[in-house]
Amino acid sequence: MSVPATSDNRILRAPPLGPERPVSWARRSVRTLSNGLEVVVAESKSVPKVSAQLFMRSGNAVVAHRSPGLADMTAAVVRTGTESRPSRRIEEDLRRMGGDMSTNAGADSSAIGISGLAEFSQGLLDLMADLARNATLPVAEFERERSQHLEELRIDRTTPGFLGSECLRRVLFGAHPYGIIAPTEEQVKLYTRDALAEFYRTYYVPAESVLLVVGDVDSNKIIDQVEQAFGSWKAPMPLATPRPAPPELTGRRVHLVHLPGTVQTDVLVGNRAITRTDPNWMRMVLTNSIYGGAFHSRLVMNIREQKGYTYSPRSSAVPLRQHGYFAIHAAVRNDVVAASLAEIFYELDRMRALPVGDAELDDARNYLSGVFSLSSSTQDGLLGQLSTVYLDRLAEDYLETYRQRVRALTAEDVLLTARRYLDSKNAQIVVVGDRALIGEQAALFGELETYDAHGNRLGSIF
């Protein structure tokens, strides 16, 4: 084999970026049907598939005060039978169209998602509408789902990551519905089929719902198909539910969830922050990205690439509909819990004390802008972006102007945002692990409270 022997082609520096190409946005149609259902269709022809998401703007939060997780259970049972289709028929109809489906609920919404071959768009939309309108919630299926769900909950409460998130949310939101991410077993046992049916009747309604469709489709044709499947769907407006205010949190506190014998500790740090509709949201996104939201962020470089304490440290700005929060998570070696917390707070305070340099700022803006373009180029990514815009009722041109809004952010934006929303003074610390190995380390950072996996307080061992 002959190979050029010269090294002329070796170039010692990375080549510069070429000029950025504009994103050509998918053709998008937005309609509101006469029953109030908002419909958004975007054409994205990368593969001959179609994906649709139907969001009802009510989830677990509206029932948290009387039956935590009821929206989740309702969503699970919605899939198991309609007036014309028993469970098996639903699943086989879906397979016949190359389909996948999920029905689930979060804090703020309940959702039916479906995808399949684009040639079956009418059938897929009909199936989705059948579940949204004609679910029969069969008792036997409900009991089966309930017994599965109980077993899943038992496993969740042995999972360090789950226990950390559950504790952090309880600490940050207290009696507010966002303080609960999963029910207790006893609460699940109290669900009734009638309660599910009432949730379904009240909240699976067109007036507060949005249907998003993305795929290799003709948007006019889809609008007609949606009209046929959902046009005669009628139901009253759901009721607003009053919500208690989340607690005032002053001073750092440490909350230890005791899991005996664990070989690693999940460390979480968080504070309440803002939602997507807040004017500071983009600043928050950029600030988080510089702190710990990207691979090249400060936190990852520090505790992973320099110190080797952890594999996957990350921070995130989480926007729920009514409140948001900022959270850091890292699963670290047991003997470096205190060292990891020291670095986490050092990096928080550095964000609050010193302005970010020009090069770092530029890199971070490039990152956000680029990742946004990557997401919008796939059907699922675009569907996710559209759901952000329409669920949170953001500006119609939110996606189109996103990149230019990122470009306009400054070092001062980051500094002020960090001072306001990376609240290291009042941050709440959660550690999940074996208290005999990590209790003393954690207690260095604030008053320590210890719990078992079910949220019961345990006495101090120190």
Site for other proteins in 81-120 (CB under 8 A): 87-88, 91-92, 94-100, 115-117
Between residues 37 and 431, which has the closer beta carbon with respect to other proteins?
Answer: 431
Residues belonging to the chain: 462
Please tell me whether residue 404 binds other proteins under the rule CB under 8 A: no
* Segment interacting with other proteins, rule: CB under 8 A, options 8-16, 232-240, 246-254, 278-286: 8-16
Burial of 451 (0-12, 13-18, 19+ CB in 10 A): buried
Q: Is 21 in the site for other proteins (CB under 8 A)?
A: yes
Residue among 462, 236, 425, 448 nearest 337 (CA): 448
Q: Does 14 bind other proteins (CB under 8 A)?
A: yes
**401 lies in the binding site for other proteins (CB under 8 A):** no
261 binds other proteins (CB under 8 A): yes
* CA–CA separation, 322 and 277 (whole Å): 9
Cβ burial, residue 171 (10 Å; 0-12/13-18/19+)? buried
Report the nearest approach of other proteins to the CB of residue 420 (Å): 25
Q: Judged by CB, which is closer to other proteins: 144, or 419? A: 144
The interface mask with other proteins, positions 286-325, x = CB under 8 A, is --------xxx----x--xxxxxxxxx-------------
Rule CB under 8 A: which of 40-59 touch other proteins? 45-49
Q: Could you give the 3-state DSSP secondary structure of residue 349?
A: helix
Is the Cβ–Cβ distance between 306 and 410 less than 8 Å? no
The answer to whether residue 73 forms part of the interface with other proteins (CB under 8 A) is no
- For the CB of residue 179, give the shortest distance to other proteins in the complex, in Å: 9
Judged by CB under 8 A, the stretch of 129-137, 240-248, 255-263, 344-352 that binds other proteins is 255-263
Per CB under 8 A, which of residues 149..168 are in contact with other proteins? 151-152, 154-155, 158-160
Distance CA(302)–CA(421), nearest Å, equals: 21
The residue among 209 and 450 lying less far from other proteins, judged by its C-beta, is 450
With CB under 8 A as the contact rule, which of the stretches 220-228, 267-275, 327-335, 436-444 interacts with other proteins?
327-335
Measured between alpha carbons, how far is residue 284 from residues 381, 391, 413, 414, 440 in Å?
21, 20, 9, 8, 33
**Cα 165 to Cα 45: distance, rounded to the nearest angstrom:** 38
Cα 283 from Cα 115, distance rounded (Å): 34
Residue with tokens 């014309």: 84
User: Phi/psi at 7 (nearest 5 deg)?
Assistant: -110, 20
Rounded Cα distance, 443 and 42, in Å: 52
By CB under 8 A, is residue 1 in contact with other proteins?
yes
The minimum distance between CB 48 and other proteins, in angstroms, equals 6
State how beta strands 38-43 and 447-451 pair. Answer: unpaired
Stretch of 55-63, 275-283, 408-416, 453-461 lying at the interface with other proteins (CB under 8 A): 453-461
CA distance 191 to 196: 8
Q: Does 354 bind other proteins (CB under 8 A)?
A: no
Residues in the interface with other proteins (CB under 8 A) total 102
Instruction: Decide if residue 15 touches other proteins (CB under 8 A).
Output: yes
**DSSP string for residues in 71-83:** HHHHHHHHTTBBS
Q: Is 357 in the site for other proteins (CB under 8 A)?
A: no
Question: Is residue 456 involved in binding other proteins (CB under 8 A)?
Answer: yes
341 touching other proteins, by CB under 8 A? no
Distances (CA, A) of 219 to 97, 121, 233, 437: 19, 11, 21, 59
Contact between 332 and other proteins per CB under 8 A: yes
Taking the complex as a whole, the smallest distance from the CB of residue 188 to other proteins amounts, in Å, to: 11
453 counts as binding other proteins under rule CB under 8 A = yes
Nearer to other proteins, 108 or 141 (CB): 141
Q: Both tokens of residue 69?
A: 């997780």
Least distance to other proteins from the beta carbon of 356, Å?
A: 13
Q: State the angle between helix axes of 358-376 and 411-421 in degrees (0 to 180), rounded to the nearest 10.
A: 80
240 touching other proteins, by CB under 8 A: no
